Amino acid sequence: MEIFLDSANLKEIERFSDYSVIDGITTNPTLLSKENSKLEDVIKLCKKLNLFIFIQTLEDDYLKIYEEGKEYYKIYPERIILKIPFSLEGLKSLKLFKKENIPYSVTAIFSLSQIILSLKYEPKYVIPYINRIGRYGGEPFKIIKDAKTVIKDNDIKTKILSASFRSSKEIEEAMVNGSNAVTIPSNIFEEILDNPLSKKAIEDFKRDYFKI
């Protein structure tokens, strides 16, 4: 089981790394823009903390995707995993990365059929967007369960990294249905860590102890 932080916020990354609860972080252009963070600074921090980092490519042409991905990989080859958005050009670039043993994942997944096509290239991860799939009328947890069956039956080593969560319940359902990994935004981490029932139980234990 792997847990990643979905963030480009340097303070959040350092904080959750201190808890030793995350294996790395996932980024995308939206997160970087939201935090006004420079990708170079995020990579530098991940190197310092020995964390994996997923970096998403922006180019549309497969050769440009390949060149962009290579440049990212050179910065931190030990733990950078490229995120290639699902598209015809994106898939076309994968054979080039595979040839050079550059680790890659396929992101922006919305269907089982997209996962099946992606598996032909044996990516390190496929990344379905759980909440978004549900919002568009799909069945995200069935997709995970069925994808797990396809991967197992065909003896493929690709892992399922579930993303796009809006609640801890969605995370639970993703893991129960076979996801190998999840990437969690900081607000949901806070929701899990700051459970009022756990706090009450701890206070009750203390109160009862001091009655002795």
Contacts of residue 120, Cβ cutoff 8 Å, sequence gap at least 6: none
Active-site option among 34, 64, 70, 83: 83
Using DSSP's 3-state secondary structure scheme, residue 20 falls into: coil
10, two tokens: 């340097």
| Alpha-carbon radius of gyration of the chain | 19
Alpha carbon dihedral 105, 164, 8, 185, in 10-degree steps, equals -130
Measured CA to CA, the distance from residue 197 to residue 132 in angstroms comes to 29
Answer yes or no: 83 catalytic.
Answer: yes
Contact by Cβ (8 Å): 162, 127: yes
- How would you label 63-72 residue by residue, b for 16+ Cβ within 10 Å and e otherwise? eebbebbeeb
* Catalytically active residues, by annotation: 83
